[in-house]
């Protein structure tokens, strides 16, 4: 369920953050402060999340933000 007042880009951003935060390997999960920086649009380093892949999925995230 998605809030209908939320735009597609914002919904995708929150989904990506959720996926980053629930990775099976804790070392690949962002810290809470890093996750909040992304939510607030203030990531210090756009390469903070380097090519993270899951052995159980076919998704690859090279960056949480699209440019």
pLDDT at position 44 over 60: yes
Q: Is residue 66 part of a domain?
A: no
> What are the distances in angstroms from CA 28 to CA 7, 49, 65?
27, 8, 17
Q: Is residue 43 part of a domain?
A: yes
Q: Is residue 3 part of a domain?
A: no
Q: How many domains does the chain have?
A: 1
pLDDT of residue 8: 87
Task: Give residue-wise pLDDT tens across range 2-39.
Answer: 678 888 888 888 898 999 999 999 988 989 988 888 88
Say which residues have a Cβ less than 8 Å from residue 47's Cβ, sequence separation at least 6.
Answer: 63
Q: Is residue 26 part of a domain?
A: yes
Q: Is residue 29 part of a domain?
A: yes
Q: What is the pTM of this model?
A: 0.56
> CA 51, 55, 61 angle in degrees (round to 5)?
25
Which structural domain range is residue 32 located in? 8-61
Q: Is residue 12 part of a domain?
A: yes
Q: Is residue 22 part of a domain?
A: yes
């Amino acid at each position: 369920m998605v809030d209908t007042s939320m735009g597609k880009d914002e919904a995708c951003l929150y989904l990506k953050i959720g996926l980053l935060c629930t990775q099976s390997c804790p070392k690949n999960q962002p810290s809470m402060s890093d996750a909040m920086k992304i939510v607030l649009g203030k990531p210090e380093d756009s390469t903070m999340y380097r090519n993270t892949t899951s052995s159980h999925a076919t998704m690859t995230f090279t960056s949480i933000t699209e440019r």
